[in-house]
Amino acid sequence: MSTDPIPLMAGQRTSGIQTLPRAAEFLVGFSRLLRRSGYTVALEQTTAFLEAVNLLGPGSMEDIRQAALATLAPSPDRRREFETLFRSYFYGDTGTPAKGEYEGHDQDKTHVKDTGKERIEQTEGLRVEEGGSLSSSTERLTIRTFDAERENEELLRFRRALANALPMRRSFRTVRTNSHGSVDLRRSLRQIVRTDGDIPEPPLRRRQSVARKLLLLIDVSGSMKLHTTDHLKIAHAVVQTAKAAEVFTFGTRLTRITPSLRIRDLDHALSSAASRVDDWDGGTRIGPTLLAFLAVPRFAAFARGAAIVIFSDALERGDHIEMETAIRRLAARSFRLSLCTPLAGDPRFRPETAALGAILPVLDDLVDGSSIIGLTKFILSLGRPVPRAEAVGRRG
């Protein structure tokens, strides 16, 4: 491949340092995104990427994708993550695939949706089945409507108590204090100058304590259909109260619904969330959707140091390796990782499935997620230490 520089666009200055066209700058930004996500991308690969796009025309986004695959060379085990980053960067996290793109792989893709409107297709509802038999990897795009909802007394009490119940962390910012702090050298020196060396009580400062981020991941697949409304009500109360809270839904797709839940009125907030999510009551791809969450740097930053609560029955169809990988990566980033499953409401429940058995050692909590009362009490206890989730598997 030729190493000649890419020609400048018409009308661009040629004297002095040559700057890239605006379109080329956008392409270079994708290489930077890959490096921030842990990919090894050399300068020569970025140059080759630009040259390949220049040679291809490009005629379509598929040309850019093929050029990126050929020159930026993602490893086979990270190919799916690479595809997610490509769609996140070039398509703005839209969930509707481009025409003719990824042919033959529709069931393997995980769409990520943050902002923007998408076409919503209405399909027939799922028939009612027992237990986890609704768990499926098949994608179904559906519209969900909620009846007029109002916060009950339990949610109102939860909102009043949440602000003071969240786990705290020590910030690097400091505040003035009269005791139990370290000497504030700057204020002390200024006081010494003002008083000619007389400083009987040196001023003190201490590190400020702030609430940790709270991240809620809500399973909206068919097997969780009976509990989705309650989980969204709790998520709305959390977003309305906590200063740093984020909410995502996952089924066969990943959707950020935090902007919808910022609407103060519960009924309007749920209606907005219903229009934003496309995969209500559909299949289940827990592992791929959580990996898609981690593949977007802006989303993965939400999990760093946060208390993460997953509302899901953890019924993953097929191989659970991706789910285990995603949960382990979330646990490594989080302050506390909790799984709230409706199955735990049964006294006979034991985490004996292959998926639950694999993730149990890295979970901090495995609790009953079948009622609003139980879930709100648990979230209010996130600031207090509790036995590890593995104790659930050993109860007699």
Residue at 138 is within a domain: no
User: What does the radius of gyration of the chain's CA atoms come to, in whole angstroms?
Assistant: 25
Cβ atoms within 10 Å, residue 43: 8
* Strands laid side by side in the 168-177 sheet: 168-177, 204-211, 182-183
Residues 206 and 314 placed together within one structural domain of the fold? no
Residue at 96 is within a domain: no
Domain count, the chain: 3
**pTM for this one?**
0.63
**What is the average per-residue pLDDT within 92-107?**
43
Residues 323 and 184 placed together within one structural domain of the fold? no
d(CA 3, CA 14): 19
Q: Are 141 and 255 in contact (CB under 8 A)?
A: no
**What is the average per-residue pLDDT within 1-16?**
40
Residue at 135 is within a domain: no
Cβ atoms within 10 Å, residue 281: 18
Domain hosting residue 294, numbered range: 153-164+212-394
Q: Which of 56, 73, 90 is the last residue of a domain?
A: 73
* pLDDT above 90 for 323: yes
CA distances from 70 to 42, 91, 242, 333 (A): 14, 20, 45, 32
Confidence of residue 146 (pLDDT cuts 50, 70, 90): low
Residue at 290 is within a domain: yes
Q: Report which secondary-structure segment, H or E, holds 168.
A: strand 168-177
Which residue would you say has higher pLDDT here, 8 or 27? Answer: 27
Residues 224 and 200 placed together within one structural domain of the fold? no
d(CA 373, CA 378): 9
Residues 293 and 204 placed together within one structural domain of the fold? no
Q: Helix %, strand %, coil % for the chain, to 5?
A: 40, 15, 45
Question: How does pLDDT run across 327-346, given as a tens digit for each residue?
Answer: 999 999 999 999 999 998 88
Q: Which of 46, 73, 100 is the last residue of a domain?
A: 73
pLDDT of 149 reads: 65
Nearest 5 degrees, angle CA 101-CA 109-CA 60?
Answer: 20
What type of residue is 4? D
Which residue would you say has higher pLDDT here, 76 or 299? Answer: 299
Q: Which of 57, 73, 89 is the last residue of a domain?
A: 73
Both tokens assigned to 388: 């590890």
Residues 197 and 277 placed together within one structural domain of the fold? no
pLDDT of 187 reads: 81
Q: Are 323 and 357 in contact (CB under 8 A)?
A: no
Question: How does pLDDT run across 150-161, given as a tens digit for each residue?
Answer: 668 889 999 999
* Residue 219, beta-bridge partner list: 250
In 204-287, DSSP assigns E strands to: 204-211, 214-219, 245-250, 253-256
